[in-house]
């Protein structure tokens, strides 16, 4: 989410230099969508952190349809991290509008993964009630629209 699609703000800069970050952002968004959609089949084994404590309670992980990525997404609770996520989604989703509304045609490269970004934003709102509360109370919702 820290990728800036405008770069330095130089028009047509994407035509002169191949930006591998664009492809990385697109693939990462697609992979994260897939990982958040699938459940965990079979019998999981307990996973412990460095202190010997379970990362996720084994009873919770043993249930059908458990997804560790959704659990980790729901555990984000720092205001700084929630603001970083929101500002990143705003910057990436704003690219769709900015790439179409320029004086110079095709001067801003368009991200092709805006649908995946919307799905990820929706899943984050759905899985993390703190993020929903943070967006509604402390962020400018007009930026995302």
Residues 73-123 pLDDT 10s: 888 999 999 999 999 999 888 888 877 777 777 667 778 888 999 999 999
Q: What percent of the chain shows pLDDT beyond 70?
A: 71
Residues 39-55 pLDDT 10s: 655 455 666 778 877 76
- pTM value is 0.74
State the alpha helices, DSSP H only, in 38-75: 58-62, 68-74
Question: SS3 string of the chain?
Answer: CCCCCCCCCCCCHHHHCCCHHHHHHHHHHHHHHHHHHCCCCCCCCCCECCCCCECCCHHHHHCCCCCHHHHHHHCCCCHHHHHHHHHHHHHHHHHHHHHHCCCCCCCCCCCCCHHHHHHHHHHHHHHCHHHHHHHHHHCCHHHCC
Answer for the pair 53, 74: CB distance below 8 angstroms, yes or no: no
Answer for the pair 108, 95: CB distance below 8 angstroms, yes or no: yes
Mean pLDDT of 9-30: 72
Q: What is the mean pLDDT of the chain?
A: 79
pLDDT at 43: 54
Structure-model confidence comparison of residues 67 and 137, the more confident one: 137
Residues 100-109 pLDDT 10s: 777 777 667 7
Answer for the pair 44, 61: CB distance below 8 angstroms, yes or no: yes
Determine the Cα angle at 125 with ends 124 and 128, to 5°.
70
Taking residue 131's Cβ as centre, other Cβ atoms within 10 Å add up to: 22
């Amino acid at each position: 989410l820290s990728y800036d699609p405008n770069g330095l703000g130089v028009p047509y800069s994407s035509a002169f230099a191949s930006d591998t970050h664009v492809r990385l952002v697109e693939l990462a968004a697609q992979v994260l969508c897939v990982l958040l959609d699938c459940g965990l089949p079979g019998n999981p084994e307990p996973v412990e952190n460095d202190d010997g404590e379970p990362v996720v309670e084994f009873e919770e992980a043993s249930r059908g349809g458990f997804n560790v990525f959704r659990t980790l997404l729901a555990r984000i609770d720092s205001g700084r991290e929630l603001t970083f996520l929101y500002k990143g989604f705003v910057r990436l989703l704003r690219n769709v509008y900015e790439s179409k509304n320029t004086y110079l045609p095709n001067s801003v490269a368009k991200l092709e993964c805006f649908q995946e970004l919307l799905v990820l934003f929706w899943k984050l709102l759905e899985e993390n009630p703190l993020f929903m509360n943070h967006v509604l109370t402390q962020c400018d919702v007009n930026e995302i629209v």
